[in-house]
Chain A
Amino acid sequence: MKVALLGASKGMGRAVARVLAERGDTLCLLGRDRGELERCAADLAVRGAAGEVGIVACDLLEPSGFAPALDAAVRHLGGLDAVVVTAGLFATQEQLERDAGLRARLLAADFANTVQFCELARERLMAAGGGRRLCVFSSVAGDRARKPVILYGAAKAGLSHYLTGLDHKFAGDGLKVVLVKPGFVKTGMTAGLPTPPFAGEPEAVARRVVRALDRGTPVVYAPAIWRWIMLAIRLLPRAVMRRIGF
């Protein structure tokens, strides 16, 4: 597959890119830190990515750069089969309540700008023909409002909602949308947070995501158990959600 990835230099994006590289896919990395991108491209080449791994500067906080970056990626790949978006910001609820600037950046990055990026990616994927995939990382935090992740969860809820809509409209119409809802995964993003039970390893989660990408599964929870955890949480009565700190 010819895949463009936004956010592949860290965490889950890095893990997904490695699974794709190890099976010989052609990759182009979009991200904001050139030095990091170069080193990631070298890593993916060593692991077996086909041809030259492309790198394109693209900052999720600067939407004006999205279209030229995507066009550069399509040129490098010589086509486009899938776009994978793992980029995003994370901060704790306390940090976001304190810091208005951080709050604005997070809401922009995780919702508005990601949607803008997806719209541009959608146009290019659909232009490329049928069966192309748009795979985007939202979060289980978007499934139900919870005290520790109100703002982050709200942005991700909006993103999930948007992607579900895309799936409704374009399923079987040239675009397959894969909405990924990661539960707690042990990556740099979650380093320092208390590790809950059922925390996932990035590599196992990445394999599950790539399988969903291949099949065009509309919604994938990873690790899988989070589907059932979130089902239980969605079913909890409001009075209970109010009382517990979860």
Chain B
Amino acid sequence: MEPTLRVIHGGKEPARELPAEPPPSELSGWGMYPRVQGRQRLSENLERITEGATLTRGLGRSYGDASLPGAPGATVAGSVLADRLLAFDRETGLVRAEAGVTLMRLNRLSLPRGWFVPVTPGTHWVTLGGMVAADVHGKNHHVAGTFGEHVRSLRLRLADGRRIEVSDEHERALFRATLGGMGLTGHILEVTFQMARVPSPWIWQESEQVASFEAILERLADAGRDWPYTVCWNDLLNDGPGLGRGLIVRGRWAEPGEAPARRPPWRSAPTLPLLLPSWALQPWMVRVHNLARYLAHGARVRHAIAHPETFFYPLDVVREWNRLYGRRGFIQYQAVLPGPHDHPRHRQLIATLRRRRGDVYLCVIKDCGAEGRGLLSFPRPGVSYALDLPVGRGTQSLVDALNELVIAEGGRIYLAKDALTRAEHFRAMERDRLPAFQAVRDTWDPERRLKSALSVRLFGDAP
């Protein structure tokens, strides 16, 4: 449903000039590690500000250095003001929108109309451009794949300045490299994708205590057969027999008969006002919190009609919660280990974490389904582990140890969350896929005009 448009009173195109270079500022990802000096151009006109920029950045919600300029002081374009919905077909659910549209806005607009984004990450503070660049996955990866599976086409600004539309029919290699390509193949200007029809705007949710790590993997596999949304929260700070116990949460969209007739009331979240000192969040507090959360749930299976925001975005109830970790920041380490849930490699990962005395503040375990189209997309069949690690003296060696295990077991890491992986480890993980991705970059950006701090660290780009 393209709205018909016409100019009623004629006019001319105004002269365009690039806005003055913005002042330098400190840029960082969500984990606040690392921080670099850079400049960020912001404008409603994304097409204009991507001209000559080395990278486009959205809300900066990737954890590590994926959204940071490749060299200190370099200029990146910020997409967040480019947030227009250009078309939304209420019959078919096909959406075309500018890259800076946030998932939060999109959900609040689409849910009352009976549509929801087909794949959502664990926060609604992401832009569509970021969802494509990271090829995000969600609690329904085992049934719906990554967001990229639902993208029909993209409008890009190439490194040489040209703008083109890419899809599986047109410039397929570039299209597929851009899904999960971390913004390194072109500035994403517009995204056309398919929304999913939902029977009601509410979630039917079931949650259950699981007493051991093995049981969790088993229950996750079971739940995945019947439920579209599954996830498991897991306590890895606990010693002794309780290690690895947790809660499993399953959900699906409620049928109209099960759900309240009214729309979910949208809340506005309070903001954590201060950057806390780095010592403010201690492992014992997390241990107590985890225990309380586990015990508070109780032994029985709980059912509830859940607000989609609390179900999908539990951490978004407080804005800027990353300030909890203080100035030293934190990273999230996420890796997928292939193969069946009962494979001994999963035990080995847990053993590594124990041995390294890693203070894992949060562990989320998910099922991954089939691999997607993106040349560098993260998920593959297996089990994904996401670990929140406060940055400290031992974090680099913990990440090294985890990466060695991941390489040995044929797994891979999620670039949207990484800040500490070494280039040689990344190349070992991606030795089968990296050449194809770099070949696309050789074709479209041989001089590597598009780069990020992440691509300098991992892909061998010159700063």
A214 close to B (CB within 8 Å): no
List B contacts of A34 (CB < 8 A).
7, 11, 13
Q: How many chain A residues touch B (Cβ–Cβ < 8 Å)?
A: 39
- Contact yes or no, B14 A192, CB < 8 A: no
Query: A222 in the interface, Cβ–Cβ < 8 Å?
Result: no
Q: Cβ of B88 < 8 Å from any Cβ of A?
A: yes
Among A68-76, A146-154, A169-177, A236-244, the one that faces the other chain is A68-76
Tell me whether B86 and A46 are in contact (CB under 8 A): yes
In the complex, chain B residues 232-268 whose Cβ is within 8 Å of any chain A Cβ: none
B268's closest neighbor in chain A, by CB? A204
Least Cβ distance of A49 to chain B in Å?
9
Q: Is B4 an interface position by the 8 A CB rule?
A: yes
Q: Mark B1-44, 1 if CB is under 8 A from A, else 0.
A: 01111111111111000001011000000000000000000111
Asked whether any CB of chain B lies closer than 8 Å to the CB of A36, the reply is: yes
Q: How many residues of B contact A (CB 8 A)?
A: 29
Q: Does any Cβ of B come within 8 Å of A208's Cβ?
A: no
Contact of B10 among A54, A57, A192 (CB under 8 A): A57
B81 near A187 with CB under 8 A, answer yes
Residue among A14, A41, A65, A192 making CB contact with B5, cutoff 8 Å: A41
Q: Could you say which residues of chain A place their CB within 8 Å of the CB of B20?
A: 95
Closest to A36 in B: B45
A56 to B5, CA, bound (A): 11
Among B27-86, those with CB < 8 Å from A are 42-45, 78, 81, 84-86
**Residue A121 is within 8 A (CB to CB) of chain B in the complex:** no
CB distance from B367 to the nearest CB of A (A): 34
- Interface on chain A toward B: helix, strand, loop, or mixed SS? helix
- Pick from A35, A56, A187, A191: contact of B22, CB below 8 A: A191
How far is A54 from B3 in the complex, measured between Cα atoms in Å? 11
In the bound complex, CA of A193 to CA of B45 (Å): 18
With A191-B22, A192-B22 known as contacts, the answer to whether A55 contacts B84 (CB < 8 A) is no
Min CB distance B332 to A, Å, is 27
Q: Give A73's nearest chain B residue, CB to CB.
A: B8
In the complex, are the beta carbons of A188 and B44 less than 8 A apart? Answer: yes
Instruction: List CB contacts (< 8 Å) of A2-54 with chain B.
Output: 9-11, 14, 28, 32-36, 38-43, 45-47, 52-54
Kindly state whether residue A87 has any CB partner on chain B within 8 Å. Answer: no
**Are B44 and A43 neighbours in the complex by a CB distance under 8 Å?**
no
- Give the complex CA separation of A40 and B85 in angstroms: 8
Q: CA of A128 to CA of B14 in the docked complex: distance in angstroms?
A: 32
Instruction: Name the 9 nearest CB pairs between A and B, nearest first.
Output: A57-B11, A43-B84, A191-B42, A72-B9, A45-B3, A192-B22, A46-B85, A46-B88, A72-B8
